[in-house]
Amino acid sequence: MPPLRRVPFHPIRPLTHVGRVMLCIALSLFAAILTLAWSPARADDAEARKGESPYFFIDNGAPGTDRLPLKSTAVDVRISGVIADVTVTQHYRNEGQRPIEARYVFPGSTQAAIYAMNVRLGNRLLSARIREKQQARIEYDNAKREGKTSALLEQHRSNVFEMNVANILPGDDVAVELRYTELLVPTDAQYGFVFPTVVGPRYGSPSAADAAGRPAWAATPYLRAGVDSSTAFDLKLRVDAPIAVKDIRSSSHEIQVQGADTAHAVVTLADATKASNNRDFILSYRLAGDRIASGLMLYRGDDQTGGENFFLAMVEPPKAVPLQQVSPRDYIFVVDISGSMHGYPLDTAKVLMQNLIGGLRPSDTFNVMLFSGSSRMLAPSSVPATRANIERAVQALTQTSGGGGTEIVPALRRVAELPKPADLSRSVIVVTDGYVTVESEVFQLVRRHLNEFNVFAFGIGSSVNRALIEGLARAGQGEAFVVTKPAEAAAQAERLRRMIDSPVLTQLKARFDGLDVYDVEPAALPDVLGGRPVVLQGKWRSQPGVPASGRLLLDGRAADGPWHQELLVAGHEDQTSSALRHLWARQRIAALGDQESLVGGNAEKEAITALGLKYSLLTPYTSFIAVDEVVRNPNPSLAPTVDQPLPLPQGVAETALGAEVPSTPEPAAWLALLVVVGVAGVALQRRRAAVVA
Amino acid sequence: MGTVLSTSATGRWLGRFEAMPPLAWLGLQAVALWPHWRWAAGRLADGSDDPLGLAAVVVLLGWVVWQAHGLRGNARPGWLMGSGALTLLATVSQAVAPPLAGALLAALALACGWRAIAPSGQATLPLAGLAVLSLPVVSSLQFYAGFPLRLVTAQCSTWLLQLAGRVAERSGTAMVVDGHLVIVDAPCSGVQMVWMAYFCACAMALLGGLRERSFIRRLPLVGALVLGGNVLRNTVLVALESRGPLADAWHQGIGLAVLAMVCAVVTMLMREARDAAPQ
């Protein structure tokens, strides 16, 4: 046998038992390292369809993304006579490492005529243009895709707006400035200015499959109850009146007043560092002698403004005189006991209801409907307002606690179907925070049953949906009230009683003598219920160089007989009141909106769009858009959209975002595993013991 | 006679491969299937599935280590070929099938590979069951079986409550008991109990040396036990919830007690089967 060649190294010997185990472990570790080195699969929900309901904010975004881009909101208000000019500046700053698109849903006054928007990007100023809504959205999306910084302002409701700011680069400070004007109409000689700061969480009915019932804007993140917004808020307000301003108060915020009891007062927040953007800013004041700034204002247009002339008339009504004989009425109280009313708002509503029901006359009849996801009447039919019935109703109310949805349309439909004797006057009193998205359906329903009842609406809470409350009252030819705290309940209930018992002016008619007017708003004057002036707006035709002249004649029927008032036109031309253009257009758009909600659909879309474009106003069909021409973001597709979270309105509980329905979940997985291991271990131990035995 | 050593390079490497322990071959097979394990690990890492499978992995690894000394040097050709075919299928499936299907094939390929080198007389099915349970199957199970389970649970609970004199009604997977709405949603479906009970059954069968035929025969009973247990758990909790809000401790306590009962019966089932099985 030839000799074997010498091998260069020793042969591998079979592994020992321990060696095999070690090899297995080494292989396992190798596999684990491979697994970890490879980028693991990640669940990506970026393209997932967003929910259509409000939800709680969770800061779980990708690292390097600024989830709270809105750093501050500054409000500058200048009130001159009965017109407020407001500048709102929103500062967006990206403190992350990735470019972002910011989306912010914010509220506005129901009477605001937003007429301008500017964007300050560093040292550059971009002026926004008014565009048809779809066109603006297309331009914005294109600019966003191209990497240009752009801002889009859209109106979703008369008091709900959405700001989108695309391509905010890391370190950018983008200041978006909005300007609006508003007519301040006094009540009982008291002027009020309201600046809403937060949109309350809106309930979207599960049965509403359409966009109106569950609009996308309502899917907004909210901070947990008790968590303050990180957005700073500051407000400065200046009142310039012809006479001294007195009784300047805020029921919502602590304020500092300079120049009180003078004709020029300045109001600022007492402590701007305190969280103050979780409720409406409400300011009230009076003029010396409890006068109101009544009279005529005329504006003569120039070429820049299209040559149109505008007027505004505000006429003080006669003092209310209690009627000698008040006929009995039937009252249906419709009380919202949904989740958003839970706690403080419902406590306020209970106090209000005690005052409202407690003040009924024995000859009146009443019934109470409580509604949330469903509705129930306290009695099968209206009962006399006897002490026993009132106490029973109050007791039933005090036992309720808020929870569930806000199905206001079915509730009002049920009210409309209640039988009513032909000779009985019925008033429906709606008590709600208005956190719904079905405003149009509600107004449509009320208008269709206008000959059966009139509607008074009470908004309850710190950030009431005033569009619903005021719209309900307007549609139902009643009055809107807002009660922010229990202490205000008695006064507001008394105001309603006065209003119903002492209608001020009916069959009101206005005509101009010697002045050619047209496009007058409102087309038909409603009854004046009390404490509110008659307001008339419109256009007038002029001849060059000839001053306006003539008379405004108002005729109506007051409690003590016919009422007549005249206002002279001459001498009231004022070239500084160009805001009348926007105020008139805003009023006309609101009237068209009311008409649209009556017939449904987009019947007045063309007319509203034309008005918005002509007068440069934000409307449901026109939007403001500002685009920077510089491409600043090379990878715009990688910029995530960040929804700015809103604080929960003051006093509103987390149940507003939906109460938890009980379920029967299985126990925690790790506990269950421990139990299984324990049971199996005991079984194996017993088995071993049995084998040994 | 002394050891015959090959002097060529190829021959030397072949010699080294032949000298590799059977467990190393299994390890190499596992490494070959690593894309599936990577996917499974990713599912656990991103939170899209419960990490329950890790418990099955621990039991499997423990079993492998325990049995490592008795492994066959010469693999069973039939099982080896089956294991190879499944490995091939698992690899191909990456391009044509959902990741979970591929991972299931990969787990079964490993189980076959183990069977090829496992000592004689060992059951493979419990081990294959554990291999399947080690994958992220809970979410998929919830997706496909969750709703039917919830429906059946809600209906059976409704009947039980009606028998007990309560006013109960089912609407979809929600129940209204004495006017109170209680939903039987995904976390109530009993899918977790399904996993736990089958994990218990597989582990007990494996550790107890249960024969495969006995194991298969008792698997449907495990399913029935789980369904009954979940109906019982749900009924008790719904009955209590309909009387007022129930603290989480009650949910945990009742759920764990029922699970313990179900698992105890499962272990008894497996033991009795083993005792009854011919030795």
Q: How far is residue B209's CA from residue A691's CA, in Å, rounded to a whole number?
A: 14
Residue B3 banded pLDDT, cuts 50, 70, 90? low
Letter string b/e over residues A185-221, b meaning 16 or more CB atoms within 10 A of that residue's CB = ebbeeebebbbbbbbbbbbbbeebeeeebbbebbbbb
Q: How far is B56 from chain A (nearest CA, A)?
A: 11
Q: Are A552 and A569 in contact (CB under 8 A)?
A: yes
What residues of chain B, 36 to 95, have a C-beta less than 8 Å from chain A? 37-39, 41-43, 45-48, 50, 52, 55, 61, 64-65, 68-69
pTM: 0.71
Query: Using CB atoms, which residue from A30, A667, A680 is nearest to B200?
Result: A680
Q: State the average pLDDT for chain A.
A: 87
Residues A45 and B41: their CA atoms lie apart, in Å, by: 19
Look at residue A364 and tell me whether its pLDDT is greater than 80. Answer: yes
- Its ipTM equals 0.89
Q: By CA distance, what is A679's nearest residue in B?
A: B264
Question: Is A19 an 8 Å CB contact of chain B?
Answer: yes
Q: Are A636 and A99 in contact (CB under 8 A)?
A: yes
- Whether residue A212 is predicted with pLDDT greater than 60 in this model: the reply is no
Q: Is the pLDDT of residue B17 over 70?
A: no
Fill in the amino acid letter for B7: T
Range with the poorest average pLDDT among A317-331, A472-486, A599-613: A317-331
CA distance A390 to chain B (A): 28
Q: Is residue A636 reached through a cis peptide bond, with omega within 30 degrees of 0 on the bond before it?
A: no
- Selecting from B187, B259, B271 the residue whose C-beta is nearest the C-beta of A683 gives B271
Cβ atoms A128, A115 nearer than 8 A:
no
Using an 8 Å CB-CB cutoff, list chain A residues near B37. Answer: 31, 35
Q: Which of these ranges, A249-253, A496-500, B247-251, has the smallest mean pLDDT?
A: A496-500
Q: Do A661 and B181 count as a contact with CB atoms less than 8 A apart?
A: yes
Interface test with B, best of A16, A663, A686 (most B CBs within 10 A): A663
Instruction: Give the model's confidence band at A206: pLDDT under 50 very low, under 70 low, under 90 confident, else very high.
Output: low
Instruction: For an interface test with A, give the residue of B28, B200, B279 to mutate (most A CBs within 10 A).
Output: B200
Measure the CA–CA gap between A80 and A116, rounded to whole angstroms: 19
Hey, what amino acid is at B170?
A: R
Per-residue model confidence (pLDDT) at position A533: 87
Q: Is B196 on the interface with A (CB under 8 A)?
A: yes
Q: Which residue of A has its CA nearest to B190?
A: A666
Q: What is the pLDDT of residues A260-303, one digit of tens each?
A: 899 999 999 998 777 889 999 999 999 888 777 778 999 998 87
Give the nearest chain A residue to B242 (CA atoms). Answer: A662
Q: Which residues of chain A are within 8 Å of residue B183 when distances are taken between CB atoms?
A: 661-663
Q: How far apart are CA A615 and CA A304, in angstroms?
A: 11
Which residues of chain B are within 8 Å of residue A677 when distances are taken between CB atoms?
55
Q: Tell me how crowded residue B135 is: count the other CB atoms within 10 A of its CB.
A: 24
Q: Using CB atoms within 10 A of its CB, is residue B74 exposed (0-12), middle (13-18) or buried (19+)? A: exposed
Distance from CA of B278 to the nearest CA of A (A): 16
Whether the CB of A22 is below 8 Å from some CB of chain B: the reply is no
Q: How confident is the model at residue B47 (pLDDT cuts 50, 70, 90)?
A: confident
CB contact under 8 A, A672 and B196: yes
Nearest beta carbon to residue B238 from set A38, A42, A664: A664
Least CB–CB distance from B7: residue in A5, A21, A677: A5
How many CA atoms does the CB half-sphere of B259 hold within 13 Å?
33
Closest chain A C-alpha to B155 CA, distance in angstroms = 14
CB-count burial class (<10 Å; 0-12, 13-18, 19+) for A46? exposed
Confidence band of A205 (pLDDT split at 50, 70, 90): confident
Check: CB of residue B106 under 8 Å from CB of residue B36.
yes
Mean pLDDT of B112-116: 90
Stretch 113-152 of chain B: residues touching chain A, C-beta under 8 Å: none
Among residues A508, A659, A624, A648, the alpha carbon closest in space to that of A223 is found at: A648
Percent of chain A topping pLDDT 70: 89
Rounded to whole angstroms, the Cα distance separating B64 from B115 reads: 11
Closest CB from B184, B263, B271 relative to A664: B184
| Domains and their CATH numbers in chain A | 55-197+232-276+280-291+616-643 (2.60.40), 301-321+505-572 (2.60.40), 329-501 (3.40.50.410)
Cα separation, A3 vs A19, in Å, equals 33
Instruction: List pLDDT tens digits, range A633-692.
Output: 999 998 999 999 999 999 999 888 876 678 899 999 999 999 999 999 999 888 888 877
Which residues of chain B are within 8 Å of residue A24 when distances are taken between CB atoms?
23-24, 26-27, 64-65, 68
- The reported pLDDT for the residue numbered A1 is 44
Sequence-ordered strand ranges (E) for A412-570: 425-432, 454-460, 480-483, 506-513, 517-521, 534-540, 551-558, 561-568
- pLDDT at position A8: 43
Quote the CA–CA distance of A375 and A416 in Å, as a whole number.
13
The answer to whether the CB atoms of A680 and B267 lie below 8 A apart is yes
Q: pLDDT tens digits for A327-355?
A: 788 999 999 999 999 999 999 999 999 99
The 3-state secondary structure of A265-325 reads EEEEECCCCCCCCCCCEEEEEEEHHHCCCCEEEEECCCHHHCCCEEEEEEECCCCCCCCCC
Chain B contact for A36 (CB, 8 A cutoff): yes
Beta strands per DSSP E along B116-228: 168-171, 174-177, 180-183
Distance from CA of A350 to the nearest CA of B (A): 24
User: What is the crossing angle of helices B191-208 and B248-276, to 10°?
Assistant: 30
